[in-house]
Structure 1
Amino acid sequence: MRDQILAETFVELADTLVDDFDVVDFLHQVSMRCVKVLGVAAIGILLTDQRGRLQVMAASSERSRLLELFQIQTNQGPCAEAFHTGRAIAVPDLAEAADRWPRFTSHALNEGFVATHALPMRLRATVIGTLNLFHTEKGLLPEETLRVAQALADVATIGLLQARAIRHHETLAEQLQTALNSRVIIEQAKGVVAERHGLGMDEAFDRLRGAARSGSRRLSELARAVVEGTGRV
């Protein structure tokens, strides 16, 4: 069953050669599929904007999204280190990394995460972000699982670059900046939906994404309509 799910995941992540390719929705799909395939507690994805700064682009839960934001704000943590070095960073026990990243480890432990792996999203020498795995149990992932995780990160990276190739007038930085702008609108729409229906942020996002898919609309397009009051979810 796991092999079947893994095969389906790679096929889905490779299918980015479409006119209505949505970077934000694609990366959310990556995060949710990774949780299912790798058996980790949560996933976060960071990509660089036009100025070379890391930004949160997707997360499997609100807890992991906020933790990723905290890493960026404090400029410390395994994800930033994996990006700058281009190497995978494994932390089997975050409590033992308190001297290395004191503010990050304290925040992560408070959120219930006790171990992490940060994997670079790269193609050859080009690193465009990181795929970050968070765990609620101490220890390292098996080597086989880590190889699968890095393969998923690599396929996602190729998918993004492949999507850029069919829009050759855009640079990767411009494409990711557009996606970042969409992410901001989506976060605003999540807040509107959460307030309107009394939902948590994860539930609000699921509702927003489900409405976009059922209505064959881009997620960012529907989110903007919700924020502007011309669409309801």
Structure 2
Amino acid sequence: MSELTSGSPLVTTLAEITSGLVHSPDAETMLRQVVAAGTSLMAADACGLMLHDPRGGLEVVAASDIPARLVEALQAQIDEGPCVECVATGKTVVAAELEAEGERWPGFVPGALELGFRSVIAIPLLLDGRGAGGLNLLYRTPSDPSPERLVVGRLLADLTLLGLVQERGDRRAGLLVERTLIALDSRVRLGQAIGIVAGTLGIDPIEAKSLLVEHAGRHGQAPHEVARAVTEGALRAQALRGE
């Protein structure tokens, strides 16, 4: 990937999207920014975005042009294609040569080819590890993306989901206060746990913190969860050493 500078297209485009998230634009504006970024940053000929409908299936919520909207609508209608697959599996789907995927998607491929598309990259929008939608990059020539391009696509998908799930207006301000208080409480509790461990084991605070963090990592917990267990007496300091 080329060096990132303040004037590079990648930095400029991502700055515009993230600035919009901070200033709470309407969802429609944000989605338009995403599909525009998909075509420019991913060198795609068209871009579409589909989201899981709570009532079932997928729905087209944004597209860069009419052919993109049609090819996305085709997937939603027949429940088949790279976007449907990426949402179902939670994994990026690359079809570098659509003509070779006729058996995989017999209903989708002929329609996509007729609309002029020859390759597709479908990147899932992941919410708690599950597919909530898909960002689709459409190309009119066969295209095998570089790892760097896929990283940019993943970043775009993550920003899209962030924009869709964030709180807005007064609710967002209230949530910020709530999360700040939680963070401060966790920090105080961690400090207390470090003191308990250091005092009990006769070690310095740096080593005590390392024991807490390492224990959290071994057991798939966050450090503040281990700290809470220590301060509430549910976890003995000696147990951090395996004693």
2:35–2:49 contact (8 Å) kept in structure 1: yes
| Compared CA separation, residues 32 and 71, structure 1 to 2 (3 A) | same
Matches within 5 A, 1:1-233: 3=4, 4-14=8-18, 15-18=20-23, 21-163=25-167, 167=171
Amino acid at match of 1:141: P
1:17–1:163 contact (8 Å) kept in structure 2: no
Amino acid at match of 1:69: A
Larger RCO (CA within 8 A; separation ≥ 6): 1
Amino acid at match of 1:71: Q
3-state SS of paired residue (1:87):
coil
Equivalence for 2:203: none
Matched residues in 2 for 1:97 and 1:48: separation? 24
Give the ranges of 4+ consecutive aligned residues of structure 1 lying more than 4 Å apart after TM superposition.
164-168
Matched residues in 2 for 1:100 and 1:123: separation? 26
The structure with more radius of gyration: 2
3-state SS of paired residue (2:69):
helix
Higher mean C-alpha deviation, range 104-113 or range 51-60 = 51-60
Structure 1 residue 49, shift from structure 2 partner: 2.4
Amino acid at match of 2:96: P
2:27–2:163 contact (8 Å) kept in structure 1: no
2:57–2:79 contact (8 Å) kept in structure 1: no
1:71–1:77 contact (8 Å) kept in structure 2: yes
Structure 1 residue 127, shift from structure 2 partner: 2.7
Equivalence for 2:214: none
Matched residues in 1 for 2:112 and 2:15: separation? 33
Number of residue pairs aligned between Structure 1 and Structure 2: 167
3-state SS of paired residue (1:102):
coil
Q: Normalising by the residue count of structure 2, what TM-score does the alignment of the two structures yield?
A: 0.64
Matched residues in 2 for 1:110 and 1:29: separation? 27
Q: What is the Cα-based RMSD across aligned positions, in Å? A: 2.0
Gaps of 5+ in 2: 173-243
Equivalence for 2:187: none
3-state SS of paired residue (1:101):
coil
Matched residues in 2 for 1:165 and 1:22: separation? 11
3-state SS of paired residue (2:166):
helix
Q: Normalising by the residue count of structure 1, what TM-score does the alignment of the two structures yield?
A: 0.66
1:17–1:162 contact (8 Å) kept in structure 2: no
1:116–1:132 contact (8 Å) kept in structure 2: yes
1:79–1:119 contact (8 Å) kept in structure 2: yes
3-state SS of paired residue (2:76):
helix
2:102–2:109 contact (8 Å) kept in structure 1: yes
Matched residues in 1 for 2:101 and 2:167: separation? 38
| Compared CA separation, residues 7 and 114, structure 1 to 2 (3 A) | same
Matched residues in 2 for 1:166 and 1:112: separation? 46
Matched residues in 2 for 1:165 and 1:146: separation? 33
